[in-house]
Amino acid sequence: MVITGCRIRGKEGLYDVTYDNGVFTKIVVHGKEEVPKDAYRADGRMMMPPFVEPHIHLDCVLTAGIPHYNMSGTLFEGISTWHEYKTTQPLVVSEIKERAKTALRLMAEYGVQFVRTHVDVTETSFKGVEALEELKEEMKDIIEIQTVAFPQNGILSVRDGKKLMEKAMDMGVSCVGGIPHYEFSREFGIESINYIFDLAEKYDAMIDVHCDEIDDGQSRFLETMATQAWQREMGSRTVAAHTCAMGSYNDAYCSKLFRLLKESGIRFNSCPSASMHLQGRIDTYPKRRGITRIKELWDAGINIALGQDSIADPWYPIGVGNLLRVLEMGIHAGHMTGYEDLQHCLDLISINGARNLCVEEEYGIEAGKPANFILLDGKDDYEVIRYLSPVILSVHNGNTIMEKTPAVATIHF
Ligand code: FE2
């Protein structure tokens, strides 16, 4: 198959891109060679590697309102509402898979091809783990899924919490998760982090921890995570998610912390739409934004990716799978709407996410790499974020997984 006359993100000019048997085989300057009659005409639109969703909870998606809505909008009412859901609803593998698949279809419409999902392992029937592990296998040629053993109610603060984590890892989950700021005490939080790293070493797994997802500037589990990653040289396989408390740290502490963050090599994930919705709820005024220091991490060269966290679940009532919407919120909240940032802001929902998932090897528009790409109805990052341009073609391993006809408006004046 040939895509003719496309821009390639980050390159000047137009190109003809050929892929066969799931792999990019040839990339030449447009017009240099004959193209087949059935070539896809890109008309100057931008091709780039697919969007990456680095943080979502597919076991919870599309459950908003059951058994009731989160009326306060806080993280903690979200957790208690989910607890009610999982202890009062019959959990059925096929139903969880169907909800998750519906969410994946939504995401596919917006160009997502790589997804890392958390799955609650303090839900002791393990139906969520079973469902998402099955889906990971069934969907692998369409959308690549990684799973995270997420102890929603804590590891030390739950009876047999460590056994639950180990059971999930035995079932094939890809990453070890955690929630140190939600453990009963600081000591439990620290012990949980040490355990998470031990477990990841035991299973040769990646790490992705909900860390300091709270407006409390005294929540400082990030420094323990980064120190563990530095000591064990596991930074490139470790993600600290949310780190909302960093938005409340004082600058003197933060400047000291950044030295460690850089040396540790850990990666970051922020979910600006979810965090702006959930955090700052207990503030009066001034109200905090509840997000980590996205711009400061980005400017320091520390890898940070943005994700959705939720699609219509107890924590966040809206969302349709569109990462551009998340990016738009993130760059506003993070003061990243300056000219320079707008030139490459799509990194936050593409290559940076690929680095968090450790899939950058199979990622890029280059001959010899898997034919994974999207085509956007725009010509560069600036235009795409300004117009929230739709993805009109999404190809994974050479298979077309989504096509869209761009809408045409007729203006009557
Ligand atoms: Fe999350």
Protein residues within 5 Å, CB atom, of ion ligand 1: 309
Ligand 1 center to residue 55 CA distance, Å?
6
pLDDT tens per residue across span 46-79:
999 999 999 999 999 999 999 999 999 999 999 9
Ligand 1 center to residue 82 CA distance, Å?
13
β-bridge partners, 4: 16, 41
Average pLDDT rounded to a whole number, residues 143-156: 98
Which phi and psi angles does 51 have, rounded to 5°?
A: -70, 155
Evaluate if residue 362 carries a pLDDT over 90: no
Average pLDDT rounded to a whole number, residues 179-206: 98
Confidence of residue 406 (pLDDT cuts 50, 70, 90): confident
Which fold would CATH assign to domain 2-49+364-403?
Answer: Urease, subunit C; domain 1 (2.30.40)
- Give the residue ranges of DSSP H helices in 246-399: 251-264, 272-278, 294-299, 323-333, 339-343, 351-356, 381-387
Q: Which residues contact 42 (CB under 8 A, 6 or more apart)?
A: 3, 4, 5, 6, 7, 375
SS3 54: strand
CA distance 217 to 313: 27
**Domain at 51-360, CATH class:** alpha beta
Which phi and psi angles does 244 have, rounded to 5°?
A: -60, -35
Which residue spans of the chain are classified as CATH 3.20.20.140?
A: 51-360
Ligand 1 center to residue 310 CA distance, Å?
7
Confidence of residue 89 (pLDDT cuts 50, 70, 90): confident
Dump the DSSP string for 84-125. HHHHHSPP-HHHHHHHHHHHHHHHHHTTEEEEEEEEESSSTT
As a whole number, the mean pLDDT across the chain is 97
Evaluate if residue 347 carries a pLDDT over 90: yes
pTM of the model: 0.97
**Two structure tokens written together for 210:** 């909900």
Evaluate if residue 410 carries a pLDDT over 90: yes
Element (H, E) at 400: strand 399-403
Ligand 1 center to residue 381 CA distance, Å?
27
For the chain, percent of residues with pLDDT exceeding 90: 99
Q: Which residues are catalytic?
A: 213
SS3 338: coil
Ligand 1 center to residue 332 CA distance, Å?
21
Evaluate if residue 184 carries a pLDDT over 90: yes
Which residue spans of the chain are classified as CATH 2.30.40.10?
A: 2-49+364-403
Ligand 1 center to residue 242 CA distance, Å?
8
CA distance 348 to 88: 38
Confidence of residue 108 (pLDDT cuts 50, 70, 90): very high
The Cβ-side half-sphere exposure at 298, using a 13 Å CA radius, reads: 25
Ligand 1 center to residue 23 CA distance, Å?
33
